[in-house]
Amino acid sequence: MMQNTLKGSKNLMSLILLVCFGHFFVDVMLGIWPVYKSLAQIDLAQAGLIAAGGAFIGEGSQLFFGSMSDKGYRHVCIMLGIFLAAAAVFLSSATSLVLLFIFFMITCIGSGCFHPSAASLMNTIVPSKRNILMAIFASGGSLGLACSQLIFMKTYTGTGGQTIWLVLPILLLIVALFFFWPGHENSGKIYQENPKPKIKEYLSFFKHPVLRSLYISQVANQSLYWGMIFILPDALKTLGHPDWICFGMGHFCFVLGGALMMIPGGLLADRYSPRALMLVLGFLGMICFYVILLFGAYSMWLILPTLVILGSCLAIMNPIAVSFGVKLMPQSPGAVSAFLMGLVWCVSEALGPGGVGVMSKLFTDYAPVKALAILGTLFIIQIYNTILLPKEEISKENSLELEY
């Protein structure tokens, strides 16, 4: 009996680790388009529209695949999501803008298929360990996104552009998941104590002034984050930095900053208040953003650490905002989380890359840098809507009181 228990525990841990590796590879695929569009010298406006359309459709598909996952197809959604995300390896083989859009859209749909299903698994497979499992799961994705351009560039240069080889570890991972899933019936169980939130419930949140301000602040924040990722290789090239910084290391520092700040950011939000921390991060992020644009050409020793700090300020904002929203409306934690994540990402991943790409057409010189400078005005929107948020005080009965 004990041997069976130990064997079951080992298999369970293997399944969890495989899903975390899946998160790593899915986010690696998501990070390929920003660097490839620069290598292929695709028009920034066209590349931005491809990113906007693909991301909007992909993030929007979370509503469909999340429902499929809840109906008992979670394991299928996880494996299908990883498989579809691998479409990014074919970007370097595309011969037209239409094919580029199709491959990127399929990658985004894979992300929309994988993320809600895998996050659901981490929250239910071992309920007593959900927090640490979610932290490990999130770290895997952050590391994958951070390393994405370095992995792609190494493969691209080492194989003469034959990035299709990147699909091999993904196929091996899917096969491994297929064999480790049987026997884990509980990993597909969805708890249905609360009814699934409806679209009308999400839309009703816009009538709540606090949640509306929180939503707008997060759309502005995440648009800056994804817009920065999209055009960073071109901006760094315009600032005169070498290729190893433009096509990999700059992106790595920016995304790694967010990964490193996840746990400290949560501790700071608990120690002080989410609203206060969001304001500090907003002002600090805006300073770092314009330091990069105005003085980033002087030295890599200035720009790389500043990218780490900027990435920290932008990436940690959304998890803090989601936690704040759940505190404000503890009676609807699932709906509020979806409102401040899925519905934010759906808009921001289209607005950020698409907006900065189109704005680059307004200029003839230093176009990526000037387009980013305009996008930076979103910091004002983010900070203003954060100021509108209430200060919070927890009463003796642990109920939330809003103080305006």
pLDDT in tens, 287-313: 999 999 999 888 889 999 999 999 999
Answer whether 140's CB lies under 8 Å from 158's CB.
no
In the chain, pLDDT over 70 holds for what percent of residues? 84
Higher per-residue confidence, 96 vs 68: 96
Answer whether 234's CB lies under 8 Å from 44's CB.
yes
What 8-state DSSP symbol labels residue 396? T
Residue 194's pLDDT band (cuts 50, 70, 90): very low
Higher per-residue confidence, 7 vs 315: 315
pLDDT of residue 332: 64
230, two tokens? 């999209």
pLDDT in tens, 42-52: 999 999 999 99
Mean pLDDT of 349-357: 91
The one-letter code for the residue type at 338 is A
Residue 323's pLDDT band (cuts 50, 70, 90): confident
Answer whether 158's CB lies under 8 Å from 173's CB.
no
Q: Tell me which H or E stretch contains 367.
A: helix 367-375
Tokens 């009703």 identify what position?
204
Instruction: Please give the domain boundaries of the chain with CATH numbers for all domains.
Output: 9-180 (1.20.1250.20), 197-389 (1.20.1250.20)
* H-type alpha helices, 296-332: 300-315, 317-328
Over the chain, what is the mean pLDDT?
A: 83
pLDDT of residue 87: 94
Residue 99's pLDDT band (cuts 50, 70, 90): very high
Answer whether 78's CB lies under 8 Å from 114's CB.
yes
Higher per-residue confidence, 301 vs 125: 301
Answer whether 206's CB lies under 8 Å from 212's CB.
yes
Cα-only R_g, the chain:
21
| pLDDT over 50 at 372, yes or no | yes
On the CB side of 370, how many CA atoms lie within 13 Å of its CA? Answer: 11
In the chain, pLDDT over 90 holds for what percent of residues? 47
Using alpha carbons, list the distances in angstroms from residue 174 to 179, 225, 262.
9, 30, 28
Residue 389 contacts by C-beta under 8 Å, 6 or more apart in sequence?
Answer: 210, 213, 214, 217, 275, 278, 324
pLDDT of residue 130: 65
Mean pLDDT of 3-28: 76
Mean pLDDT of 223-249: 93
pLDDT of residue 236: 95
